[in-house]
Amino acid sequence: MTDSPADELVPYQLGMPADCAREIVIPRAIAADNDPQWVPQQPNVWFRPLCLSASQGFWVTLLKVRRAGVLTRHRHPKAVHGWVVKGCWHYLEHDWVAEPGSYVYEPPGETHTLVVDNDDEMITLFKVDGAMIYVDPFGKTTGYDDVFTKIDRCREHFIGCGLGADYVNQFIR
Ligand code: FE
């Protein structure tokens, strides 16, 4: 049903449901290098939290890498969606290359080894559901991340750079 012309510019007149979480809006999400919202992950690797869903068990982050080579080998029990902003990367297990503007869907069950192709800056937005399970080439688990380890890492970093333990809360839903 379409609005009548008189109603077109009228905002929704009822309240949001009582249990509806607050929206998140992050202007200029690809911030300057010295922005403390880039959380160090490994040497020359950072992530920036956008949405950390403790209630649904997923996280949306920007990943920034400034070094060529293998980043991680990992298994996904649930789906991942990626959008490449800058740079190029690929998986050792596949013959395609993710380039700027590429959308990537990683289905549940995938295990793959992420390689950044050169030292040019790479930035990709990832939505990861469930967990990243880090594995050796034969699938033996070596570690994991989930939304809670991501929150812990952010909190640790934000405390360390003086923004405080509560700074991460704005990204948590
Ligand atoms: Fe992956």
CATH number of the domain that 132 lies in? 2.60.120.10
Ligand 1 centroid to residue 106 C-alpha, Å: 6
Residue 171 is classified by DSSP as G
Please report whether residue 110 resides in a domain: yes
The two tokens of residue 46 are 């950072």
Question: Does the global pTM surpass 0.85?
Answer: yes
According to the model, what pLDDT value does residue 35 have?
A: 86
Please report whether residue 76 resides in a domain: yes
Ligand 1 ion local residues (Cβ < 5 A): 106
Domain count, the chain: 1
Ligand 1 centroid to residue 58 C-alpha, Å: 14
List pLDDT tens digits, range 39-83. 999 999 999 999 999 999 999 999 999 999 999 999 999 999 999
Please report whether residue 167 resides in a domain: yes
For strand 39-42 and strand 97-98, is the pairing parallel, antiparallel, or unpaired? unpaired
Q: Where in 16-91 does DSSP place strands (E)?
A: 39-42, 45-53, 58-65, 69-75, 80-86, 89-91
User: What confidence category does residue 3 fall into, taking pLDDT thresholds of 50, 70 and 90?
Assistant: confident
User: What confidence category does residue 1 fall into, taking pLDDT thresholds of 50, 70 and 90?
Assistant: low
Ligand 1 centroid to residue 121 C-alpha, Å: 19
According to the model, what pLDDT value does residue 128 have?
A: 98
Could you tell me the CA-to-CA distances from 82 to 15, 22, 28, 138 in Å, in that order?
33, 24, 19, 25
Ligand 1 centroid to residue 84 C-alpha, Å: 13
Ligand 1 centroid to residue 92 C-alpha, Å: 11
Range of the domain at 161: 35-171
Please report whether residue 12 resides in a domain: no
- Residue 172's nearest CA partner among 140, 144, 150 is 150
Ramachandran sector of residue 13 (left: φ over 0; alpha: ψ -120 to 50; beta: rest): alpha
User: What confidence category does residue 33 fall into, taking pLDDT thresholds of 50, 70 and 90?
Assistant: confident
According to the model, what pLDDT value does residue 85 have?
A: 97
Ligand 1 centroid to residue 1 C-alpha, Å: 41
Please report whether residue 7 resides in a domain: no
According to the model, what pLDDT value does residue 15 have?
A: 93
Please report whether residue 4 resides in a domain: no
**% of the chain at pLDDT higher than 90:** 87
